[in-house]
Amino acid sequence: MNPGSLIILILVIFVLIVLASCVKVVPQATAMVVERFGAYVGTWGVGIHFKAPFIDRIARRVNLKEQVIDFKPQPVITKDNVTMQIDTVVFFQITDPKLYTYGVENPLMAIENLTATTLRNIIGDLELDQTLTSRELINTRMRTQLDEATDPWGIKVNRVELKNIIPPREIQDSMEKQMKAERERREKILVAEGEKKSTILVAEGHKEQAILDAQAEKEAAILRAEARREATIKEAEGQAEAILTVQKATAEGIRMIREAGADESVIRLKSLDTLSKVADGRSTKIIIPSDIQGAAGVLTSLAETLKDPKEDGKENGPQTDPQG
């Protein structure tokens, strides 16, 4: 190969290399900042691009994905002068590659220093107890302030989290003792409340039992009274029916006597028979009608007249002649 052909071959290869270097493919979630003669020309997005050889250059390749930075613990002082260590995690995303490229020299270092100073300012307004219990408030305030501060840099702060809050050892010991005392106090309160509820339930049980016993006694008394009332009613009805039956029988007997044609003497004899039955009772006084008394006198005289003379002699004994 002669020297001329070799030079031509070298020139062709050089041109091909130069042309190949001028073709750029930008992948997804990536941007390229292009400069021409040191001045900003534009930002390439996703796709294939061509740049002018020797006059254009890629100033910065920018990652547009959300990024996470975990900063080391920073010493901060609370409002009540307690020094503690707090490390933070920042989630951010580049929204403007041009501002990110030309806004600040070292964006990550700038975010770290800005996070530390912002954290000190916020914690300086809070006491120890507020710092330990206000993580969400601190996260929100830090995100707002960092987002405002990094906006000129083309950075969007999406989220800020306090990863660890490490108080001094003596504060930790004091907090542990305080928590132990608090747990013991809660335990005692729970035990006392349990005993109180148990006592109340027992008393309510006794009260309900007494009420039920009283109601049962009341219902039993009512049932007994109703039973006695029904028994009395039944007994009275039975006596009334018996009296009615006797009266009906008496009336029927009188009717039959009258139908048989009994005279007044028979009626008086029946009256005497009834009077003898009355005399057999326990009555101390007997009122005898006048007509019955007359009948009794007649019957007594008749009985004396019909008495046997022999029986009369026996009663009077043997009589001797006074002369004999």
**Residues 224 and 208 occupy one common structural domain:** yes
The answer to the question of residue 78 being in a domain is yes
**Residues 132 and 186 occupy one common structural domain:** no
Domain count, the chain: 3
The answer to the question of residue 109 being in a domain is yes
Domain end call among 136, 167, 198? 167
Domain end call among 6, 33, 62? 62
The answer to the question of residue 206 being in a domain is yes
How many helices (H) and strands (E) the chain has is answered by: 9, 9
**Residues 97 and 189 occupy one common structural domain:** no
CATH number, position 88: 3.30.479.30
Query: In this structure, what is the dihedral angle of CA atoms 281, 282, 288, 292, given to the nearest 10 degrees?
Result: 20
Q: Is the pLDDT of residue 152 over 80?
A: yes
Q: Is the pLDDT of residue 324 over 50?
A: no
**Residues 54 and 71 occupy one common structural domain:** no
The answer to the question of residue 276 being in a domain is no
Vertex 218 angle, CA 217 and 220, to 5°:
65
Q: Which amino acid is present at 115?
A: T
The residue among 299 and 224 whose pLDDT is bigger is 224
Domain region containing 215: 180-234
The answer to the question of residue 292 being in a domain is no
- Distance, in Å, from the CA atom of 92 to the CA atom of 69, rounded to the nearest integer, reads 8
**Residues 91 and 57 occupy one common structural domain:** no
User: pLDDT confidence of 290, banded at 50, 70, 90?
Assistant: low
Give residue 160's pLDDT: 92
**Residues 26 and 71 occupy one common structural domain:** no
Closest listed residue to residue 166, CA positions, set 153, 178, 175: 175
**Residues 156 and 204 occupy one common structural domain:** no
Domain end call among 167, 201, 225? 167
Residue 157 and residue 143 in contact, taking contact as beta carbons nearer than 8 Å: yes
**Residues 111 and 145 occupy one common structural domain:** yes
pLDDT, one tens digit per residue, over 73-122 is 889 988 888 888 998 999 999 999 999 999 888 888 999 999 999 999 99
The answer to the question of residue 113 being in a domain is yes
**Residues 222 and 190 occupy one common structural domain:** yes
pLDDT, one tens digit per residue, over 304-318 is 554 554 444 444 444
**Residues 58 and 71 occupy one common structural domain:** no
pLDDT, one tens digit per residue, over 202-257 is 999 999 999 999 999 999 999 989 999 988 998 888 888 888 888 888 777 777 76
The answer to the question of residue 105 being in a domain is yes
The answer to the question of residue 311 being in a domain is no
Residue 55 and residue 37 in contact, taking contact as beta carbons nearer than 8 Å: yes
Give residue 174's pLDDT: 80
